[in-house]
């Protein structure tokens, strides 16, 4: 199957400093891939490059075999498009306005996902708790029916119960054949969810392997494997 995402020789500098260099990988349909790395490794930058938010990089981004920035934008959904903190709008109104911007946004699907999260769409955005905001962001993101989802720390700062509920929502409502690329600080909390791990370190992808292969061949947890990249240097 053709990959939903393919990166070729991605490089990016900020103020003369190398942030990313020679980043190459592809993500197949149905994969949920974790992009792991220390703070400041460039995970969020890489997601933003793929999403087209940062334009001045070199290399090629293919999303569903397309390279045209407008086509790419229409084929990607992210959770960082929706800040939601600085508006008094009701959630439903916000979603209705969002629908105009995203050609593949499905409002009925959005309402179904909110129902799954037991999140009232009549709520005002600035009255959402942190957990509810994460729910709303994921619901907006998943209601956009596209091949590629970019999730930047979608479960960050939530208790275990809310994390599990969001993960179940993701698994339930992910479109058939879609791919997910996600980042998270807390490797343990996403260990079940992912089927592949990439480690971004020294500006590039240092490791790219299946999650169960790490467990099977090394007898390590994903978290131990991740930490081993940093211990080597001590």
Partner 1 sequence: MKFDDRIPIYYQIKQYFYQQIITQQLQPGDKLPGVRQLAVDLTVNVNTIQRALQELITEGVLFSKRGLGNFVTTDHDTIKQLKHRVVSGQVAWYYHQLEKLGLSPASMQQALADYIEEENHDPKS
Q: Name the site residues for partner 1 (rule: CB under 8 A).
A: 30-32, 164, 167-168, 171-172, 188, 191-195, 211-212, 215-216, 219-224
- CA distances, 169 to each of 47, 54, 76, 141, 142 (Å): 22, 29, 18, 11, 9
Nearer Cβ to partner 1 (206/221): 221
Question: Shortest gap between Cβ of 212 and partner 1 (angstroms)?
Answer: 4
Question: Shortest gap between Cβ of 40 and partner 1 (angstroms)?
Answer: 26
CB of 46 within 8 A of CB of 93?
no
Question: Shortest gap between Cβ of 184 and partner 1 (angstroms)?
Answer: 14
Residue 112 CA neighbour count, 13 Å, CB half: 13
Q: Which two structure tokens, joined as six digits, stand for 218?
A: 């090394």
Alpha-carbon distance of 194 to 116, in angstroms, equals: 21
Alpha-carbon distance of 184 to 190, in angstroms, equals: 8
Nearer Cβ to partner 1 (8/213): 213
Nearer Cβ to partner 1 (205/211): 211
At 1 the three-state DSSP class reads coil
Question: Shortest gap between Cβ of 41 and partner 1 (angstroms)?
Answer: 22
Question: Shortest gap between Cβ of 50 and partner 1 (angstroms)?
Answer: 20
Nearer Cβ to partner 1 (94/155): 155
Nearer Cβ to partner 1 (162/203): 162
Closest CA to 34 of 175, 209, 174, 220: 209
């Amino acid at each position: 199957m053709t990959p939903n995402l393919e990166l070729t020789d991605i490089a990016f500098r900020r103020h003369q400093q190398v942030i990313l260099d020679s980043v190459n990988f592809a993500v197949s349909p149905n994969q949920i891939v974790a992009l792991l790395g220390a703070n400041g490794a460039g995970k969020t930058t890489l997601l933003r490059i793929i999403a087209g938010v940062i334009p001045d990089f070199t290399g090629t981004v293919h999303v569903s075999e397309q390279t045209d920035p407008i086509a790419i934008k229409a084929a990607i959904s992210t959770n960082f498009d929706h800040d939601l903190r600085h508006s008094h709008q009701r959630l439903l109104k916000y979603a209705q306005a969002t629908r105009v911007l995203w050609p593949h946004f499905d409002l009925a699907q959005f309402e179904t996902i909110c129902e799954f999260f037991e999140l009232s769409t009549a709520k005002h955005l600035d009255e959402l708790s942190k957990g509810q905001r994460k729910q709303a962001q994921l619901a907006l993101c998943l209601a956009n029916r596209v091949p590629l989802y970019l999730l930047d720390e979608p479960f960050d700062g939530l208790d275990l119960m809310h994390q599990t509920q969001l993960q179940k929502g993701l698994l339930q409502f992910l479109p058939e054949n879609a791919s997910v690329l996600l980042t998270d600080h807390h490797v343990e909390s996403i260990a079940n969810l992912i089927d592949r791990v990439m480690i971004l370190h020294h500006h590039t992808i240092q490791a790219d392997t299946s999650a169960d292969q790490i467990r099977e061949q090394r007898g390590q947890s994903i978290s131990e494997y991740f930490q081993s990249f940093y211990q080597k240097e001590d």
